[in-house]
A and B are shown apart, each in its own frame.
Chain A
Amino acid sequence: MQEYSSQAAYDRGEAVCVIGAGAAGLIAVKNLRENGFEVDCYERDTVLGGLWNPQNQHSPLYPNTHLVTSRSQTEIPDYPMPDHWPDYPSAAQMLEYLNGYAKHFGLSEHIWYGSEISGIDPVEGSRFEVVVKPAAGNSARRLRYAAVIIATGHHWTPNLPSYPGQDLYRGTILHSSQLKDGSRLRGKHVLVIGGGNSGTDIACEAAVNAAGCVHSVRRGYWHLPKYLDGEPADYALARLSKRPKLFRKYLTKRLLKGSRNLSTRMGMDKPDHDHTDEEPVRNGRYLEHVGDGSIDRRGEVAKFEGNEVIFADGTEFRPDIVVLATGYKPGIKCCPPELLGVEGESSQPKLLARMFSPRTETLAVAGLVEPGVGALPIVHWQTHAISHWLQVRKEDPERAAAFKHQVVSESAQYEVNSTGISPRHQLAVDVEEYLASLGRIIDTLEQEPAK
């Protein structure tokens, strides 16, 4: 590429801009290139792989992170992981896999590292001007693209609750993404707040390393082991989808019964939602640690009093370290909110089919869903659809019209309706419904229009 001046935007013609080189960005680049697009991908960090790369400055990986979704349900559909890998690969293997993918499809040469996108402005002809935040001493660069795909992830801004009296607490308080090194827990009295996958995994880490572990959880979740009936749990459950609806319900219930009963025995609240409504907690060891007393479960934290933590039920604990595994705040800072359908009070994007801007045809977001299953395949089909859409839009107005109609009607079907109280669950989709919907969208795009 050439040098850019600060005033004039450099016009990249028909090229597409992808923001972020995490899993979603990489898959987008590959699928766009496969459909004949020139692509520039901008990554603010100096490495690829997004949150799976511990060298990424803000990576949320914590000690011993392993996949919670099994290999066959997590791998990218057209680039499987090595079949001698374990059922649940480690974070390091996930990174190796993404590096392999990038190398295999020659993606790196399209990625510009150290390039944070600070803004995207719509300009005439449904095109976009993209602003690359200047590195120290340089002026901002502006480039024009025919389309933009945002793949910036949603695990970067920690959600941090605050409690009365917290300021006077003298111990360590940190977010799960800052833990990094498990040895920080060794010999300490640890309080873990938050009952998602991060909190549960970290509580298990503390159960074996720390002097004591209290786990504060404010409501009931579905706890799934990593295996059900001799098979990886997500696979065992997904398999049932072939069955007629009622029979499937029966079989699912039967499959989940054991872990449900065990959760009840461990004194956990009954989940207020169905197991597909929110991402379940997948950890086979947790309930056993609760059962052998190495994890002491409590309810919500009420306040800090000096170095004591007081729980809502009046009990107390004096932790040396408090890990806030309270999740993340999704947010796309580089894009004007109205383009993402953010309206009124809610800060929640309202995208068509969870990926297309409701305002402009040439802006899409990849990976802004919590499907409760492997994220990568979902992103693959999303970006497959997006790439086809951009192509059809250019070449075949008739099919484009049919497609728009389809997407709008599909979108009505998975309006946000989670019963969860946490804002994060607004990204949740029922994966069966969502995949069926993606399938119909792709069919519309690939069908020859009736002449």
Chain B
Amino acid sequence: MSLNDWIRRTRIPEPAPVAREVAVFEPADLYDVDTRDDPEAAPILCCTGDGAGAAAFNALWLKRIAASGRYAAAVSVRGQGGTPAAPGGIEARAHDVVQAVTGIPRQAVLVGHGLGAGWAALAAARYPAAALVMVAPGKLPKQLPKPVGGPPVLLVVSEDDAQSKGVQAIAETFGVAPLTFAGDANDVFKGTNAEGLLDAILSWLDRKD
């Protein structure tokens, strides 16, 4: 975030506060699986454009992230899941993500799926994420501000989308080559494809840490 962005933001009204739903899964919450709790590894906060919000990550993601040794969380932004609707567009949703991530005890990775990728990217321009991961991004704002603190960025898209103009543009903005996964872009929450996708993200993060 540049100083000027900050000045601009502090001089317009703050989005109305909402009571946000945040789902959390910690490695210690897993009794049945053999986990390697790694207090050094950055926690992960997920969001998605899917109307279910945080609940979308319950089927597979949160548990599997926790099993990999990381604190796992997901947030429902305004109007999603258990979070009440409130006025505000993409900026207000980015605000919800920032508020959720600063509520996590340690500096965290932001993972955004679909439209959530845009919120996560905007949030990463206000909060120094440990890493920014965009999964099958939906329509992103044209001008994406630079992430603060220079986090590593990962772009993950379905094989079918890899060549699309939108994906190319995002890849160029962040100067990264997209990682591809097999299957449908909306099929990321459960199933074998989803497992493979998530494991690829986790091993990328392990390399970065």
Contact = CB atoms under 8 A, between A and B. Distances in A.
Interface residues of A, number: 27
Nearest to B15: A83
Interface string B1-24: 111101100111011010100000
A104 B106 contact: yes
Given A238-B10, A439-B4, A84 B102 contact: no
Nearest to B103: A82
Contacts of A239: 11-12
Interface string A72-86: 110001111011100
B117 to A, nearest CB: 20
A103 B4 contact: no
Contacts of B128: 34, 78
Contacts of B4: 439
B127 A438 contact: no
B98 A103 contact: no
B1 A77 contact: yes
A105 B107 contact: yes
A78 B148 contact: yes
B103 to A, nearest CB: 7
Contacts, number: 62
A363 to B, nearest CB: 23
A84 B17 contact: yes
* Interface range for B: 20 to 34
B126 interface: yes
A112 B119 CA distance: 38
Contacts of B104: 104
Contacts of B149: 34, 78
A105 B127 CA distance: 11
Looking at chain A's contact residues, is the secondary structure mostly helix, strand, loop, or mixed?
A: helix
A435 B14 contact: no
A350 B73 CA distance: 48
A82 B98 CA distance: 10
Interface string B89-106: 000000100110011111
Contacts of A235: 10-11
A274 B107 CA distance: 42
Interface in B1-57: 1-4, 6-7, 10-12, 14-15, 17, 19
Contacts of A78: 1, 126-128, 148-149
Contacts of B7: 435
A85 to B, nearest CB: 9
A106 interface: yes
A448 to B, nearest CB: 14
Interface of A: 34, 72-73, 77-80, 82-84, 100, 103-106, 235, 238-239, 241-242, 377, 381, 384, 435, 438-439, 442
Interface of B: 1-4, 6-7, 10-12, 14-15, 17, 19, 95, 98-99, 102-107, 126-128, 148-150
Given A34-B150, A73-B10, A104-B102, 20 more contacts: A34-B128, A72-B14, A77-B1, A78-B127, A78-B149, A79-B102, A79-B127, A80-B102, A82-B103, A84-B17, A100-B102, A103-B106, A104-B105, A106-B107, A238-B11, A241-B11, A377-B6, A384-B3, A435-B3, A439-B2
